[in-house]
Structure 1
Amino acid sequence: MHGGNGTGDLGLVLSTDAKPRLKWTLDLHERFIEAVNQLGGADKATPKTVLKLMGIPGLTLYHLKSHLQVTCYFNE
């Protein structure tokens, strides 16, 4: 872990800000991309299905919705 609250093998890392935010590590992002690709790409993947497929304790729909938007933005 990197100084945050972690769960699972990937160790979710939360910032120490007043409002903790999830820090997307390379391993976590790669797992996210794998799940999205398995579901047919960003156009077909939904946050709920990605969450189920990733199966990482502590990861929420809020985290995935935000990351899916950022990932789609940078892929344009």
Structure 2
Amino acid sequence: MKLSSKILASLVTFPCPRCRYKVEIQLLDARVQVYRYCPCCRARIRLVDADGSMFGGLEEVDLAMEQLTKALKGLF
């Protein structure tokens, strides 16, 4: 399993834009840009990765892990 898959399954919190209640989501929710409802005020919140930085960042993480794995295999 790639590290990016584990990262996407991670839970993060952010404040609701309306009532500031801490909403918990998986990072995958932000990547696929879904809507979530605040459990406190029921505001509909759209999660947006406007510049695609999450997608690019996850690819960089996987590439770095592959390079690290190759380097470690070369040492042993």
Q: Is the TM value for this pair above 0.5?
A: no
Higher relative contact order (CA 8 A, sep 6+): 2
**TM value normalised by structure 1:** 0.30
The structure that has the greater radius of gyration is: 2
